[in-house]
Structure 1
Amino acid sequence: MEYFKYKNNFQPEKGSLLISEPFLPDPNFERTVVLLCEHNDEGSFGFVLNKPSTVLLDEIIEDVNDFSEKVYIGGPVQQDTLHFVHREENIEGGVPIAEGLYWGGNFEQLLTMINTKQVSGNDFRFFVGYSGWSEGQLKNELDADSWIVANYANEQLVFNTPEEELWKVVLKELGGRFNVYSNYPTDPRLN
């Protein structure tokens, strides 16, 4: 029965990707990829990269002119908050996550850059809400085989991979048995 285990040898850290196991029953995380922005002894948090909402940024932020970019559902926690991940190193206060990837920063500066056309929508992902785990919670979920960890988040993967393909692409990149998981049907009864 060992071949049914989803564990891999990677440990989560800032910049890791959490890939939901193929049959995770939680609708918030079904076939999702989460970018971890923080992971320490106190807990973890990040954003679901492949769950677009039905709204665009200029529909929810009045101060944005002609910037009709998708807003993603970052997770089930505090869905009344807006966050962003980007690859623009010049935004003050942006927190490095991985090479070429930053979280947050000076939002007023970002709005100015958007409205003066200094940045492209391809350089940002906006999220309502986030995914969060309290102390020990993520470890328990990893022990229960709810997540597969990949320690290779990069800007190309985050910004250039279509969200509908991201889950499969990341599993295929892990190779081996994870490549097989990428082809599992959504409903195992269809296998």
Structure 2
Amino acid sequence: MSGPLTFLVASPHLRGEVFEGTVILLLEHDETGALGLIVNAPTPQTVAELLGEAPGQDSPAWLGGPVEPSLGWCLYHDPVGLSGEVNLVPGLLMSSSQEVLEAVMASGQEYMLVLGYTGWSAGQLAGEAREGTWLWVEQDTPELLWGVPPEKRWTEALRRLGVNPQTIVPGGAQA
């Protein structure tokens, strides 16, 4: 991946939806569609409870989105030197490999086990953005992910845009 990270931030007017208050790390966006991971929705299950064979892994598993919740992704800081690692930016790698997840857990570094993903068909995300559903935050570093507590990521992402959630009105810009 080249360039900055893109985070999609749910507009404050998105209420009562699965995506209310979410921050999504956008992984792919092209003419065929888009794919991302919600990065501020911890589940009630820990990694140890979910995997069974991961004692001591008391961090929460995360809901990455409503699509294929049985599919797992690992987001983490430092390379472990195995096949299947994708370097997004310095300080943020991703893998869907069980072997990489095990090596990351064994390394003791901070990580997120994310279940499922969000997906959009061709043109859908651009249409939702035109309607004002999503705000786009580009960051050169993963600090929003690692340096901000999950319950504050949404408000911090808006703050980085200079947006006060109470000042946004539904409808988006129209040209």
CA distance in 2, matches of 1:126, 1:81: 10
Selected match of 1:77 from 67, 77, 81: 67
Across the two proteins, how many residue pairs are aligned to each other?
164
Higher strand share: 2
Decide which moves more: 61-70 or 160-169: 61-70
CA distance in 2, matches of 1:38, 1:77: 15
TM-score normalised over the length of structure 2: 0.84
CA distance in 1, matches of 2:97, 2:145: 21
SS of 2:139's equivalent?
coil
Q: Give 1:53's aligned residue.
A: 43
Alignment gaps of 5+ in structure 1: 1-12, 186-191
SS of 2:107's equivalent?
coil
Selected match of 2:7 from 11, 17, 27: 17
Selected match of 2:119 from 108, 123, 132: 132
Q: Give 1:3's aligned residue.
A: none
Selected match of 2:99 from 104, 108, 123: 108
Q: Give 1:154's aligned residue.
A: 141
The residue type paired with residue 75 of structure 1 is G
Q: Give 2:89's aligned residue.
A: 98
TM-score normalised over the length of structure 1: 0.78
By how many angstroms is 1:97 displaced?
2.1
The Cα RMSD (Å) is 2.0
How many percent of aligned residue pairs carry the same amino acid?
26
By how many angstroms is 1:25 displaced?
3.2
Higher helix share: 1
The residue type paired with residue 21 of structure 1 is S
SS of 2:5's equivalent?
coil
Contact 2:43 2:61 in 1 (8 A): yes
